[in-house]
Structure 1
Amino acid sequence: MSDLFESAGMSEGAPRPLADRLRPQKLTEVVGQDHLVGPEGTLTRMLQAKRLSSIIFWGPPGVGKTTIARLLAQETDLEFEAISAIFSGVKDLRAAFDRAEGRRKVGKGTLLFVDEIHRFNKAQQDGFLPFVESGVVTLVGATTENPSFEINGALLSRCQVLVLKRLEDSALMELVRRAEALEGRSLPVAEEAVAPILAMADGDGRYLLNIVEQIYSLAGPKAVLSLPQVTSGLQKRAPAYDKTGDGHYNLISALHKSVRGSDPDAALYWFARMVDGGEDPLYLARRLVRMASEDIGLADPTALMVASEAARAYERMGSPEGELALAHAVIHLATAPKSNAAYVAWKAALSSARETGSLIPPKHILNAPTKMMKDQGYGDGYAYDHDTAEGVSGQNYFPDGMARQVFYQPKGQGREKSIAERLAWIAKIREQKG
């Protein structure tokens, strides 16, 4: 470990953060990732078979990606070399590969750990390929972003993607117990403060241990902090939410599907998560308008009006007042009867329009403002619907030679039930009048 302290400009005896002092020394000490390092875990089986492939670790911050990579090198007797894509460039990569090739010549392998690997551009990621393929390095990359979107397909195909989970409360409590053992006394907080501390960590073990270290420092040798003292003395962790990344798409998907599934409580939860994470409320307003047409349509025509008016209300009032109008719309949409008939009809009509090209309307429904157009038959035979007994003429409005299409098929939910009945009645009139 001395080389790590020297590279950081520190002596080995220098004070170390609690999270570093509690860093696991073997894979079995890693908490919350039993699916990887437990008795039947993926990495356990890989090590038992003595076949460690290149890996991409995908997971949120503070769940053990770096620690597991370091321990894998230890378990396989590989030299551990770490670089960060935030601070490294092509020159650093070249130097790392040169060192790995030098070790290989004397029979020593290298595990190259690349933190935030998704931050390397395509050309830089392509640069890993020959060294991974030839076995010069065993690559272990770490990313908080979806590898499917952020890692080049060529590199991804040569790596096994392993997902690390957000730490549950049981795993976080195990970290607290280890800290207590190291400090030689219980966490100096009132019992009712423990759960809020775990919630504050939000599944991030490193962040939790930083909180615990602060608590020991605030309490001193004998004091016990109350819940108000804990909450006032510690800064709340910002939600783990990337407005342009995977978190954004995951949460908007959850909101949309909760609305579609008629669950107002879940919909409000995901809406609140996005607002609290700093999402632009106008983006959410636009998505609500889309949901009103895509998933509700004419089953409840007021849904589109409510969503549109909520968007306008937010534009007028801004945050935080306008957020209530959007929450109002979320509840309305989630509780409304559902139909995607308008959405399906629009897609079908658009597809048909593209297939049929430039077919012109039938002449009987074209206006004839000039004598020449009248002589050409424009408007001949047009039946004015209001003059018929039923108020419906039943005439053909599709291009001549094009078979009649049925795009809109109401589902029978909400107002669409009466719409379906009316369309069936009109179809009979059309059939009778030929």
Structure 2
Amino acid sequence: MINYSTQSGASTNILASSKANNLHGLYEKSFASPLVLEDKERASTFVPANFRIQTRLAENVISSTLIVFDIDQKLGEGYDEDMIQIEEVEDALIDLCLEHIVYTSHSHTQEAPRFRIVITPSRPVFPVEHDQIYAAILEQIDDFLGGRMLRALDPCWKSPSHCFYVYAAHPDRKQFAVSFYNPGRPADVDDYKLHMSSYGLDVEYKPGAARKATGGTGARGRSYQLNRIVGGMITSSTEDEIAQRLFEYDNTEHAGDEYFRDRQYSRNRPHPGESQEAAAWRSCKIFTKSHINSLKRKFRKQDDIKIINAKAQSKDPMPMHDAMIKFRSVKKHTSPKGAISALVELQVMSGEHAGRHFWHRFYGDGNHPTAIKISKSIQEKIAKATKTDMQQLMDLIKAEDHIVLARIKQNPGTNGFPAQNEIGDLHLTTSHTN
């Protein structure tokens, strides 16, 4: 049972107690579909904690019952070309076997992804141990991300009484809103406590103040290069051979500043009776195994999907999920005012919803600039996924009969209209044709 607190909005400190049987139940209750709102202040909030008095003050917190990190990436901070993608975080959390929810925030854009991570702890986290446990979990996740998470992380994670908006999307950006749940184990609080981590604790939290990303992790270049070596050797070398190569490279190229000997990461610190050399080799083997598994999962994610030709069993809106889709037809439409659009019919070709049809409208000249921009962004991905040249809107016809892996979104119904499905995103590494 997860006990947490809710508020009608961020402007109030008055709390209400709430419960969920488990994290998946919480996902279905509050994070499966976004609230589409222009003003996020109208959205409700949740606080991942229990309170002795139903007023949102830190001194009233009994314990934290969920672990939440808020990734708040911004353009112009020096990492525009190196933004953390949601899929990278998902890979890290799956590799760590942590049960989790990830959902985009109201201000999320494709150019600067902003999202939150929600993790279940193995037991309630008490205020006196809060910072140390959160720091250890953050450190472990960021190790997978090459130190890129800390620079864009809202330091509000240090405040046990901080509130977070539920899953909401701006109408102009609802196309890109994403949420998902993945099963796994709760974060082992007592194990993380033993790490005695202080990772990220030196970044000051000032509610409401402008923040400058520090990026002070020192690991970005080292782990990035090591991961590139894994990618280059994975199809032709054994796990032990890859580990040996990484260890030699780290000792040579990073001499004096070796990644696997950097004690700011708890994994690299020697266990009792263990030498620094043995600890570094142990860390290297763990790094190798986890990154190999991550890459293999990405390969399997698409190559092992079975194409199914089936008849649809339902017309109800599908929940958001990844599936192979086939481009069935493209029809041009011109409005009375001359605005051009293309209605694309799509068929689901894998999974439990195989056979279902849905439609996605792409907007061209004469439509709202934002609608055109969103449509062009998705069309560019279709062009890459199908390996076809698309310069004009109606070049979408070239995608007919191609099968690609896509994320199918559920667009909430508004003004009395039912919910509908549409393309949320495309995976670019595979495609099929009949």
Q: Same fold (TM over 0.5)?
A: no
Q: TM-score range by the shorter chain?
A: under 0.3
Higher RCO structure (Cα 8 Å, ≥6 apart): 2
Larger of the two Rg values belongs to structure: 1
Scaled by the length of structure 2, the TM-score of the pair is: 0.23
The structure with the greater share of residues assigned to helix is 1
